[in-house]
Structure 1
């Protein structure tokens, strides 16, 4: 592989992982940190030393930097992998604003690889915006590809190519740490991604809805022996951005919209059930709200492209505070959460948090697993 000039727009977990992979395999890579508005030169030794964004930011090594527009103007390949934190209607505005920022300095002959998920047909809008911003014709003087990263799925096995243009250099860049990448049309890539997202969420929501009816202890115990106990809130929320993006693709009532809306309702229904379980735990244990603390253990990656999990945690805190004033989120498994004069209900929201925390013991500690069964694992 030659030393292709690559720019990754967005110091996100997914963008950084891709940048490291390409740097280690010989590409000339810069990654744009949106917060500092600068492009960092990512050398192979830096990529090997710092496996993720957190370790890079914590250590703050001296890195060669240049202005964003200078880096982008030299790019042969621009990967668009920003962190998106707006929600609802504002999401699209934030994405479009960042996409304009990322592409305005591109030169003729360069390629854009779009790494956020879109709905079906969503890339058509991106291509129009790219042509408007650059003044270049897509497929002739500038090239466009679709390669959605993250969101609860493995990296795609296909990359969507506008006008089916085959680019073996790009395929080689992306295949560095996995099997060969197949190039397909943009529409095909959108359909593959939609199938993956819907398959995952329809399966997940089937589990959530059926588990609602598991009321007796024997049934719960039998279900617990299955892998169901290892699905946590973290898994349920992963990829909601993709599902919502897909929902914007259709108008009116059709079967796909029933699947999408049913999945969104299934996740929201689970959140309500989890809150009800916490409230009923207070009643069963004769706990006063004023003498109880809720500790939500959810170690979130603050650098992910999608903000779904951060948004969901904030929403959960707000909704719980309607019942109990003292609600806090914790992300450090080594923190000693429990030395206070209140009874603590620890709600564990991810598998890694459970593995780190469930052995903690405290006389006034009640643990609720944020899994489909909402298990109360023990009270010491």
Structure 2
């Protein structure tokens, strides 16, 4: 990479902004494109210092100098594809966003796709790029598959379309501080990704599924403490996006498809199990729906690449609302509180707090330290702790 060669980040996501920040910290000119507004902003040291996260940057985006997307893509040959995919149809949104990008790509470009995608779909992206740009994948550009772990710059795997270009890809990835073990061909990288996802979720779902057969909470707690530990719904949904990508790409009858379908069913059944446990908990504690307000504490990054956690959060919120009616997203409430006070408001109603992640436990400690009266507490984890 020459001293004045800039890098383009296509997609204003948490992960994309983290990559941009790393590049700028390494004194590499960097431009980021908001894929929804189709506007580009040059990221500077001052910007990453004053706005260290994507959320803070997006809130202040109108303050920065911007220019149209079409004036930027063709002038940058090092591109990271990091859009937010927050749609029930992940594949079509990914293909559409990549198609928009590919229309401006020039010869000798290298494209790093950081969006998780299903088995064989990287070839589909390459075909789109060839069709829209008129370039030849064997000689005119390099395509790399670099799916990142949620909200990090750690790669689950790295694949490349041309093995003779591994050295160049390594140099560019080094500048981003993306962590990875090695670069392989695209086919092998997809299999590594698939193996990681199926192994991770098989363990989690087998544990959560066994818990629903144990009606006694104390027995569930004893069993879980001797196994793999408690997992929250946040853990179950962290890479749900990836599971869906692969389950929609494998052929019918494939053994791995049965595993992934079972994982998806397990997550769906857990949601039902939790609502059943919530009803039981309210009955045990004589909490009437009309006299109870529920606070759902689930801190969600609304700007990460994967959007399935947001979709599951909204679905759970709607199910609880159907049950009680008076349900408040605690993190929305706290962010709208001008004094940023971490506490529940005074109320004549009974208050039930639902914890959805380990991160939210820290918030609970602060609330408990400030609140005089007891609040009812239920954890949205594999044992429905209380």
Question: TM-score normalized by structure 1?
Answer: 0.91
Residues 199-348 of structure 1: pairs in structure 2 closer than 5 A: 199-216=199-216, 218-223=218-223, 225=225, 230-331=230-331, 332=334, 334-348=341-355
Q: Spell out, residue by residue over 1:1-31, the C-alpha distance to the aligned partner (whole angstroms, 9 max, x if none).
A: 6333211111100111111112212322101
What residue ranges of structure 1 are gaps of 5+ in the alignment?
A: none
Structure 1 partner of 2:338 = none
What residue ranges of structure 2 are gaps of 5+ in the alignment?
A: 336-340
Q: Displacement, 1:340?
A: 1.7
Residues 105-184 of structure 1: pairs in structure 2 closer than 5 A: 105-151=104-150, 155-156=154-155, 158-176=157-175, 177=177, 182-184=182-184
Structure 1 partner of 2:20 = 19
Assess if the C-alpha contact under 8 Å between 1:108 and 1:142 holds in 2: yes
* 1:372 corresponds to 2:382: yes
Structure 1 partner of 2:100 = 101
Q: Displacement, 1:253?
A: 2.4
Q: Displacement, 1:317?
A: 1.6
CA RMSD of aligned residues (A): 2.3
Q: Could you tell me how far apart the structure 1 residues matched to 2:23 and 2:223 are?
A: 43
Structure 1 partner of 2:80 = 79
Q: Displacement, 1:214?
A: 4.0
Shift in CA distance, 173/277, structure 1 to aligned 2, threshold 3 Å: same
Q: Secondary structure at the match of 1:138?
A: coil
Q: Secondary structure at the match of 1:175?
A: helix
Q: Could you tell me how far apart the structure 2 residues matched to 1:190 and 1:180 are?
A: 14
Q: Displacement, 1:66?
A: 2.5
Q: Could you tell me how far apart the structure 1 residues matched to 2:64 and 2:258 are?
A: 49
Q: Secondary structure at the match of 2:136?
A: coil
Q: Displacement, 1:291?
A: 1.1
Q: Could you tell me how far apart the structure 1 residues matched to 2:247 and 2:14 are?
A: 25
Q: Could you tell me how far apart the structure 1 residues matched to 2:377 and 2:229 are?
A: 14
Assess if the C-alpha contact under 8 Å between 2:154 and 2:178 holds in 1: no
Q: Spell out, residue by residue over 1:250-273, the C-alpha distance to the aligned partner (whole angstroms, 9 max, x if none).
A: 222231111101111111111111
Q: Displacement, 1:100?
A: 1.5
Q: Spell out, residue by residue over 1:229-254, the C-alpha distance to the aligned partner (whole angstroms, 9 max, x if none).
A: 65211111011111010011222223
